[in-house]
């Protein structure tokens, strides 16, 4: 099978043999695709444009199965320059997509949202609201949309001054469940997420915990590697992330 130029972003790359790369690409029409870029590391005569994350590309490939061969790659727009915590945030998005998306399972609307999220990360003063809104969109795409308008058991509208217990797969309930795992959360936090207005520190703190709670069953027991790097940056304010991606080695 031959695929001509298709929009895509590199999610992850690692060296392969002497001159090649193994890539994971999030493409518009085919979803997540694994490719081998032969000769991509040749210094004198590179075959492709720089195959780096956060750069919109037009890529083509040939082959069948889980691993196909890159045949063309051209930049189709300006790359997003992310540094410091914003770089870590971008790598967090990439690891989420690597862990939660199946190969060759297209999500065109999520692809567009990902590109928009990268642009927002590059411009935003704070990365936390951008991350929370993308996580919300990702859960919707995976079939786990949050219940943010009504209480799950009674159907009553969410009240900002009420306290709820959010159950995965069910939504917010007023009474704390006896057996099912749940997370305590304020109604105004749910309303803020529904309206995409995330400008209060207490709301952002609650949403961070909520998203971890909801994503945990999908991610599985193996923790996200990027979280360790976030922790290292908190411990050492002089920590640099220029080579961060080399430390992330994802496996299905």
3-state secondary structure of 105: coil
Query: Which pLDDT tens digit goes with each residue over 146-159?
Result: 999 999 999 999 99
Q: Does the structure show a pLDDT above 50 at 113? A: yes
Q: What is the pTM of this model?
A: 0.89
Give strand pairing partners of 53: 10
- In the sheet where 171-173 sits, what is the strand order? 171-173, 163-167, 182-186
Domains along the chain?
A: 2-75 (2.40.50.140), 146-234 (1.20.1440.120)
- Give the pLDDT of residue 227: 79
**Residues sharing a CB contact under 8 Å with residue 164, sequence separation 6 or more, in sequence order:** 151, 158, 172, 173, 174, 184, 185, 186, 187, 190
10 Å Cβ neighbour count for 84?
A: 12
Q: What is the mean pLDDT of residues 195-209?
A: 96
* Whether the Cβ atoms of residue 164 and residue 136 lie closer than 8 Å to each other: no
């Amino acid at each position: 099978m031959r695929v001509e130029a298709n929009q895509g972003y590199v999610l992850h790359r690692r060296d392969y043999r002497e001159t090649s790369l193994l890539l994971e690409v999030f493409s518009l029409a085919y979803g997540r695709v694994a490719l081998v870029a032969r000769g991509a590391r040749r210094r004198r005569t590179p075959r492709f444009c720089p195959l780096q994350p956060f750069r919109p590309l037009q890529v083509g490939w040939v082959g069948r199965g889980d691993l196909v061969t890159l045949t063309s790659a051209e930049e189709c727009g300006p790359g997003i320059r992310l540094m410091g915590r914003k770089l870590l945030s971008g790598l967090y998005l990439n690891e989420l997509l690597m862990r939660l998306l199946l190969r060759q399972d297209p999500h065109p609307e999520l692809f567009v949202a990902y590109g928009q999220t990268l642009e927002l990360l590059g411009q935003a003063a704070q990365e936390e609201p951008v991350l929370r809104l993308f996580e919300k969109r990702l859960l919707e795409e995976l079939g786990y949309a949050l219940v943010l308008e009504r209480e799950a058991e009674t159907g009553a509208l969410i009240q900002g001054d009420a306290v709820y217990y959010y159950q995965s797969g069910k939504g917010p309930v007023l009474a704390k469940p006896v057996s099912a795992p749940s997370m305590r959360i304020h109604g105004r936090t749910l309303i803020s997420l529904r309206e995409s207005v995330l400008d209060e520190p207490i709301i952002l703190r609650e949403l961070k915990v909520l998203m971890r709670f909801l994503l945990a069953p999908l991610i599985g027991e193996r923790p996200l590697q990027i979280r360790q790097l976030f922790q290292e940056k908190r411990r050492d304010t002089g920590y640099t992330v220029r080579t961060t991606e080399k430390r992330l080695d994802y496996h299905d």
